[in-house]
């Protein structure tokens, strides 16, 4: 379990006593309007930012008790705008954060993200979507090669550079990874409907406070989402029970 | 070309330049016979070659390697391709401290220690002023530190008696002449150790190419490892300033010329940069000693005359790339 226990922060974003428990082996999604503090919360969970008060707990240990190297065995993070290091081959990028070699983990990471054709390319020549996949593969490699039991993959808007089909595919494979390897995947998303389709667990963040945190069916309800985005929404449902939310005119 | 063939090419070019430098000003036959102790050799010439020329060339090569390593390390740590120990004020701080020690008539060993301390202090000041801020701020902080050190040096020169003045000029413009065998060995050992330590930091420096935060997420204590990188650069630069004075721009030119030639792969750069620095320094020293023979130029004049236009060229190219 990766837990935020009453974390507060003023800079770079305002967060007020946010508590949330994010399980392993499931896809958790953080939703909220622009400026709610989603990315900041993700970096708090990753340990790059220290809270003003409260603490992040990983597997019954507070984060500051772990060294940078230990932390890297438990969690990996893909930033919203990942770096594009000129002159670095994709194959080299994949090795960053992985001590030693673990061909099995490497191959799995490559297979999940379908980057076989990109391995010899220079990172500077990749398209936005390719770059996102390559960084996801790097983070996956870091976790799959780790001997730790509790592992979390933190993703800051992983679908931002992807079209609707690619985004859908990516989230379903992320969910599959979470189940197969017992990894907790935690993704900040903007698209409510991707969360409706794929999330096991949802945290709603508004103005720096946790509005709701729980199973996707519980949390992703029309009144809650309308309050979250302060926007009139409609819920659509087809015969198979598939749901979607669209914004309507005010 | 593979890294290995570049390594061989650079090593042989450095060797060739060293041999030319060793024999410069003398005819090769008499130099060779002196070196090989062939019948009829000139013992004085042998002494000149082995006790003056050779330590000087080895010092130049080792100092060049150290400066190039320092340049590459600083560039990697601060994500700034235009950073260079001289430009960001490390060398200036070292030279100022050395001049102060000279003015206080300290013994030679202490002058070296002072130069090293000065370089470290300048670096600390710059790190505090510019860390975590933009690349431009780092260079600007360096400009300010350089200007301060330069003006204090000038102040010192104008108040020093004449014999002190000559020594201060040595620190300001740099020179490899008069290097002893001991100095050459010290610099060579340091160059080997620092290049090796930097190579051992390759995984960190590679992760750093993704940014400070991404390097942390991939398991590196960026604060601590970053300090180690910067300390290695300061050590390299401080040693060179202490032994040879300020020799500018090699730390900028060596990695950049390599980037143009071999591309941007960090590991290849880590291997080849020391050799490229050595080659540049030996060539600069050769020009400094032979261009106006028998008069001798300070080597810093040569490296700055080549390096400053090179810096401007890089600056112009960078702006072009961003526009």
DSSP 8-state assignment for residue B319: H
> Mean pLDDT throughout B103-120?
83
pLDDT at B323 over 60: no
Q: CA A97 to CA A103: how far, in whole Å?
A: 14
Test B221 with A68 for CB contact under 8 angstroms.
yes
Residues of chain A found within 8 Å of residue B220, distances taken between Cβ atoms? 68-69
A216: nearest Cα among A40, A22, A83, A65: A22
Omega cis (within 30) before B294: yes
Q: What is the CA radius of gyration of chain A?
A: 18
Test A97 with B263 for CB contact under 8 angstroms.
no
Q: CA A97 to CA B206: how far, in whole Å?
A: 10
Q: What is the pLDDT of residue B322?
A: 45
Choose the most confident range, by mean pLDDT, from A64-73, B40-49, B177-186: A64-73
pLDDT at A23 over 90: yes
B-contacting residues in A 77-106 (Cβ below 8 Å): 77, 79, 82-83, 85-89, 92-93, 96-97, 99
Find the CB nearest B214 among A68, A79, A99.
A79
Omega cis (within 30) before B61: no
Cα distances from B128 to residues B91, B114, B194, in angstroms, run 17, 21, 24
Q: B147-159 pLDDT, tens per residue?
A: 888 888 888 878 7
Position of tokens 């071999």?
B262
Q: CA B112 to CA B101: how far, in whole Å?
A: 9
Nearest CA distance, B207 vs chain A (angstrom): 6
Q: CA A3 to CA A7: how far, in whole Å?
A: 10
Residue B92 and residue B247 in contact, taking contact as beta carbons nearer than 8 Å: no
Q: CA A57 to CA A113: how far, in whole Å?
A: 29
Q: Which residue is closest to A76 within chain B, CA to CA? A: B217
Nearest CA distance, A211 vs chain B (angstrom): 28
Q: Pairing mode, if any, of strands A2-9 and A15-22?
A: antiparallel
3 state SS of B146: helix
Report helix angle B266-290 to B3-23, nearest 10.
10
Q: CA B295 to CA B286: how far, in whole Å?
A: 13
Q: Give the number of domains in chain A.
A: 1
Contacts of A165 (CB under 8 A, 6+ apart): none
Q: What is the pLDDT of residue B319?
A: 61
DSSP for B237-276 reads HHHHHHHH----SHHHHHHHHHHHHH-S-HHHHHHHHHHH
Q: A229-244 pLDDT, tens per residue?
A: 999 999 999 999 899 9
Q: What is the pLDDT of residue B260?
A: 87
Q: CA B174 to CA A175: how far, in whole Å?
A: 63
**pLDDT band of B191, cuts 50, 70, 90:** very high
Contacts of B48 (CB under 8 A, 6+ apart): none
Cα distances from B280 to residues A13, B175, B312, in angstroms, run 49, 14, 19
pLDDT at B169 over 80: no
> Mean pLDDT throughout B219-240?
90
Q: B294-311 pLDDT, tens per residue?
A: 888 888 888 888 888 888
Which domains are assigned to chain B? 55-322 (1.10.3470.10)
3 state SS of B219: coil
Residue A213 and residue A20 in contact, taking contact as beta carbons nearer than 8 Å: yes
Residues of chain B found within 8 Å of residue A137, distances taken between Cβ atoms? none
Range of the domain at A43: 2-247
**Which stretch of A22-36, B14-28, B31-45, B229-243 has the lowest confidence by average pLDDT?**
B31-45
Nearest CA distance, B7 vs chain A (angstrom): 19
Q: What is the pLDDT of residue B154?
A: 81
Cβ of A44 under 8 Å from any chain B Cβ? no
pLDDT at B116 over 80: yes
Nearest CA distance, A17 vs chain B (angstrom): 24
* pLDDT more than 70, % of chain A: 100
Q: B241-300 pLDDT, tens per residue?
A: 888 888 888 999 999 999 988 888 999 999 999 999 999 999 999 999 888 878 888 888
Test A97 with B207 for CB contact under 8 angstroms.
yes
Burial string for A72-95 (b: 16+ CB within 10 Å, else e) reads: bbbbbbbbeebbbbebbbbebbbb
Cβ of A74 under 8 Å from any chain B Cβ? no
Q: A148-185 pLDDT, tens per residue?
A: 999 999 999 999 888 899 899 999 999 999 999 999 99
Residues of chain A found within 8 Å of residue B272, distances taken between Cβ atoms? none
* Average model confidence (pLDDT) across chain B: 86
Residue B113 and residue B231 in contact, taking contact as beta carbons nearer than 8 Å: no
Q: What is the pLDDT of residue B132?
A: 63
Q: A100-157 pLDDT, tens per residue?
A: 889 999 999 999 999 999 999 999 999 999 999 999 999 999 999 999 999 999 999 9
Residues of chain B found within 8 Å of residue A76, distances taken between Cβ atoms? 217-218
Test B210 with A76 for CB contact under 8 angstroms.
no
Residues of chain A found within 8 Å of residue B211, distances taken between Cβ atoms? 79, 83
Secondary structure of chain A as H, E, C letters = CEEEEEEEECCCCCEEEEEEEECCCCEEEEECCCCCCHHHHHHHHHCCCCCCEEEEEECCEEHHHCCHHHHHHHEEEECCCCCCCCCCEHHHHHHCCCCCCCHHHHHHHHHHHCCHHHCCCEHHHCCHHHHHHHHHHHHHHHHHCCCCCCEEEEEECCCCCCCHHHHHHHHHHHHHHHHHHCEEEEEECCCHHHHHHHCCEEEEEECCEEEEEEEHHHHCCHHHHHHHHCCCEEEEECCCCCEEEEECCC
Q: A24-37 pLDDT, tens per residue?
A: 999 999 999 998 99
B141: nearest Cα among B151, B126, B152, B124: B126
Test A83 with B211 for CB contact under 8 angstroms.
yes
Q: Which residue pairs, CB below 8 angstroms and at least 24 apart, start in B120-124? A: B120/B93, B120/B234, B120/B238, B121/B93, B121/B97, B122/B89, B122/B90, B122/B92, B122/B93, B122/B94, B122/B149, B123/B88, B123/B89, B123/B90, B123/B93, B123/B230, B123/B233, B123/B234
> Mean pLDDT throughout A199-208?
95
Containing B220, the helix (H) or strand (E) segment is none
Residues of chain B found within 8 Å of residue A71, distances taken between Cβ atoms? 219
* pLDDT more than 70, % of chain B: 93
Q: CA B253 to CA B72: how far, in whole Å?
A: 10
Contacts of A240 (CB under 8 A, 6+ apart): none
> Mean pLDDT throughout B52-65?
94
CATH code, domain with A171: 3.40.50.300
DSSP 8-state assignment for residue B312: H
Residues of chain B found within 8 Å of residue A47, distances taken between Cβ atoms? 216
Position of tokens 């503090």?
A37
Nearest CA distance, A139 vs chain B (angstrom): 8
Test A83 with B203 for CB contact under 8 angstroms.
no
Count of pairs with CB atoms under 8 A, one residue in A, one in B: 63
Cβ of B203 under 8 Å from any chain A Cβ? yes
Q: Which residue is closest to B260 within chain A, CA to CA? A: A87
Interface confidence (ipTM) of the complex = 0.94
Q: Which residue is closest to A97 within chain B, CA to CA? A: B218
Test A85 with B210 for CB contact under 8 angstroms.
yes
Q: Taken in order B199, B200, B202, B205, is the CA torsion positive or negative?
A: negative
């Amino acid at each position: 379990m990766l837990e935020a226990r009453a974390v507060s922060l003023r800079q770079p974003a305002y967060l007020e006593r946010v508590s949330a428990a994010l399980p392993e082996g499931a896809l958790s999604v953080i939703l909220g309007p622009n400026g709610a503090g989603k990315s900041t919360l993700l970096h708090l969970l990753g340990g790059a930012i220290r809270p003003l008060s409260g603490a992040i707990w990983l597997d019954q240990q507070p984060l500051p008790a772990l060294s940078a190297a230990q932390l890297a065995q438990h969690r990996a993070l893909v930033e919203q705008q990942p770096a594009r290091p000129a002159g670095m081959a994709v194959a080299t990028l994949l090795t960053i954060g992985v001590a030693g070699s673990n061909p099995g983990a490497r191959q799995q990471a490559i297979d999940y993200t379908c980057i076989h054709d990109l391995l010899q390319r220079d990172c500077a020549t990749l398209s936005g979507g390719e770059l996102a996949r390559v960084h996801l593969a790097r983070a996956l490699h870091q976790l799959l090669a780790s001997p730790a039991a509790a592992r979390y993959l933190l993703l800051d808007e992983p679908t931002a550079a992807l079209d609707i089909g690619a985004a859908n595919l990516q989230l379903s494979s992320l969910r599959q990874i979470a189940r197969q390897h017992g990894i907790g995947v935690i993704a900040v998303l903007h698209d409510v409907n991707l969360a409706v389709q794929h999330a096991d667990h949802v945290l709603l963040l508004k103005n720096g406070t946790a509005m709701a945190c729980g199973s996707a069916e519980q949390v992703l309800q029309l009144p809650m989402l309308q309050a979250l985005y302060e926007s009139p929404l409609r819920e659509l449902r087809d015969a198979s029970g598939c749901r979607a939310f669209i914004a309507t005119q005010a | 070309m593979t890294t290995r063939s570049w390594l061989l090419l650079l090593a042989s070019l450095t060797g060739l330049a060293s041999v030319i430098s060793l024999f410069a000003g003398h005819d090769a036959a008499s130099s060779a016979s002196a070196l090989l102790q062939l019948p009829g050799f000139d013992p004085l010439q042998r002494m000149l070659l082995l006790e003056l020329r050779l330590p000087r060339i080895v010092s130049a090569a080792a100092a060049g390697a150290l400066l190039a390593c320092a340049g590459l390390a600083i560039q990697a740590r601060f994500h700034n391709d235009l950073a260079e120990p001289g430009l960001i004020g490390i060398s200036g701080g070292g030279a100022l401290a050395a001049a102060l020690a000279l003015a206080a008539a300290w013994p030679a060993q202490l002058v070296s220690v002072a130069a090293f301390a000065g370089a470290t202090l300048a670096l600390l000041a710059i790190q505090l002023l510019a860390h975590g801020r933009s690349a431009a701020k780092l260079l600007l902080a360096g400009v300010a530190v350089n200007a301060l050190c330069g003006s204090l040096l000038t102040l010192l020169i104008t108040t020093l008696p004449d014999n002190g003045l000559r020594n201060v000029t040595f620190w300001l413009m740099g020179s490899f002449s008069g290097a002893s065998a001991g100095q050459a060995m010290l610099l060579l050992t340091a160059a080997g150790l620092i290049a090796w330590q930097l190579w051992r930091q390759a995984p960190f420096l590679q992760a750093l190419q993704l940014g400070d935060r991404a390097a942390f997420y991939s398991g590196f204590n960026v604060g601590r490892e970053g300090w180690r990188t910067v300390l290695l650069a300061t050590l390299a630069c401080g040693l060179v300033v202490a032994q040879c004075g300020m020799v500018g721009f090699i730390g900028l030119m060596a990695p950049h010329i390599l980037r143009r030639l071999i591309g941007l792969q960090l590991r290849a750069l880590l291997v080849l940069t020391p050799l490229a620095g050595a080659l540049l320094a030996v060539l600069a020293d050769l020009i400094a000693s032979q261009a106006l023979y028998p008069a001798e130029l300070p080597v810093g004049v040569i490296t700055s005359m080549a390096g400053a236009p090179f810096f401007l060229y890089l600056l112009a190219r960078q702006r072009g790339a961003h526009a």
